[in-house]
Structures are given as structure tokens and as C-alpha cells.
Amino acid sequence: MEGQEARTAGQFTNEEWLEGLRGPGRDEAIANLRRILMRGLRYGLADRPEVDEAAREDFVQEAVLKILASLDSFRGESRFTTWAQKTAVRVALTELRRLRWRDVSLDDVTRFPDADFIPRSLADASAGPEQKTVQNALLEILRRLVSDELTDKQRQAVTAVYFHGMPIEEVARRMGTNRNGLYKLLHDARQRIKKAMIAQGLSEKSILDAFDS
Amino acid sequence: MKALDPGKLKRMVRDMLATSADEIGCDECFEQLDRFVDLELAGKRAAEALPLVQDHLNRCHNCREEFEALLTALRAEP
């Protein structure tokens, strides 16, 4: 990339990046990209002490391959470095989640039969008697809905994600679907529960009042 | 038996209620995330320009985690 000594790589235009990565000066452009992504991950993953420079290099390597393979899909609606860094972050966090949860099976996080993870009453010291009555009624409804209204798959997903906090792509992988598919599954489950809660005759307001923080 | 703590359960119920038919999924959010983040970094109102992205980030823990890491990573640029 010509004139690059005069500016830092962070100041290249989108066109310069694309030309650089596609043209004869490719190796230099890739080196610049790598440097920027490494720096980005150093900051972006700074709160994860388990991530070392070698791990970052692996993430960046994978990200660079993905970026080069999808250059044609960059629409120029954002800065190239933003678009590229997005992929690096996605690659890194996906792998870190996979590692963190690799010893946890779906069975481990869906072991509770039916809706037992929902308590019969909240240990809510701040709730007055009326609020408590509504809370307990709602919890009973929620237990029944999760138990009866949701499909097995929806219930598995709800339990694993909302109760156990398992990342959705980890749950997705174990259920043989992808992240987007699992999000839709959860969305359907939430919609069913919401509709059923409203159909019980409870107003949104009363539900929110009972469950305000 | 372990059960959800009250705070988590309340949040879950509020989230259920806030479910809307218009939600976008993780793929669509990721697709628009670079635009969203650039707006955010420029001090422009990303949430107003791309409300469905903001909505998804409010709901989806994994996507929000990626958004925050991306923002931090980009703020490091010289």
C-alpha cells in the first residue's frame, strides 16, 4: 500500500483496504490488518485474564481468513476496520464460550423436570401482601405454562439459557441447530408464555407491578 | 433444589412481557452491528437509527457481550 509510511494503518480508507487486500501488496495489507485486530482484541478481551497473546493470534488468524473470504460482502456502510474487528470479536468470544462450556452437557442444564426451576414463591422481602398474592399466582401460572404450553425443545432451551445461563450458541450446538435458530425458538417460547399470561386475565400493568425490582 | 433468585426471576418475567413480534435474530443483529457501533462511536444516536438492533442487544446476552467487546476494541484505535 503506497504512502503507508506516512499514515498509520488506522487511517486507510475503505477503498484502500479493499484494494490492498486484493492486490499485489496483499501481504503488507494483511500484516496491517493483523496488527489492528491484535490490538483491538488486546483491549476488547482485556477483562479475560485467561486469554494470552498466543490465543489472540489464533483468533486473529481465523478472523483474517474469514475476512478475506468475505471481502465481497463488505458493503461499505461502516468503516472497514469496524467490520473486520466485528469478525475478530465474534471468532474470539465464540471460541472462549465453547471452551468454557465444553464439559457441560445439555442434560446437565435441563435436568429439572418440567418447571421445577421456577419457585412457588419469591423470597421477596420488599413485597407487600397484595403484591405477594399476585406474585404467587403468576409463578403458578408460569410453572404451568412452562410445563404444559411449551414444546419439549422450547422448555429445554428456556431452562438451559434463562436458568443456567448457557450461551445460546452452546445450547444450539447441542440441540443440532444454530444460534439464530435457537434465538427464534426462545422467541416463540416467550411469545407463547406472554400470550398465555395475558389470556389469564392479568393485565401487563399488574404483572409488572408484581415483578418490579 | 436450586431455583432462580428473585431478581433473576423478575427480570425474566419482565423480559417475557417485553417480547414483541418484531424482534430480529442474532444473524440480523450481527449483520448491522458494524453500522450500529460506528454510529455509537461517532456520538450519534445508534439506538434511534437502528432500534431493532438496540432491542436485540437488550435481550440477547451473547450479542450484547460481543457488542461491548467490539466497542472497547475500537476505542483502542490510535
Per domain, the residue ranges of chain B are: 23-75
Q: Are residues A132 and A80 in the same domain?
A: no
Q: Are residues A60 and A22 in the same domain?
A: yes
- Over residues A168-193, the mean pLDDT reads 95
pLDDT at A55: 98
Mean pLDDT score of chain A, rounded to an integer?
A: 88
Q: Are residues A137 and A73 in the same domain?
A: no
CA distance A29 to A1: 7
Q: Are residues A112 and A206 in the same domain?
A: yes
CA distance B4 to A134: 18
Number of domains into which chain A is organized: 2
Q: How confident is residue A198, by pLDDT bands cut at 50, 70 and 90?
A: confident
Q: Are residues A53 and A110 in the same domain?
A: no
Q: How confident is residue A114, by pLDDT bands cut at 50, 70 and 90?
A: low
Q: Do B77 and A81 touch (CB under 8 A)?
A: yes
Which domain, by its residues, includes A132?
106-210
pLDDT at B3: 56
Percentage of chain A surpassing pLDDT 70? 92
Nearest-Cα distance to chain B for A166, in Å, is 10
Phi, psi (5° rounding) for residue B18?
-80, 0
pLDDT at B76: 82
pLDDT at B1: 40
Q: Are residues A11 and A56 in the same domain?
A: yes
Q: Are residues A82 and A114 in the same domain?
A: no
Last residue of a domain, one of A75, A100, A125: A100
Q: Are residues A31 and A66 in the same domain?
A: yes
Cβ-nearest to A44 among B17, B19, B69: B69
pLDDT for A72 beyond 80: yes
pLDDT tens digits, residue range A130-161?
888 878 887 888 888 888 889 999 999 998 99
**Residue in A85, A111, A114, A161 to test binding to B, most B beta-carbons within 10 Å:** A85
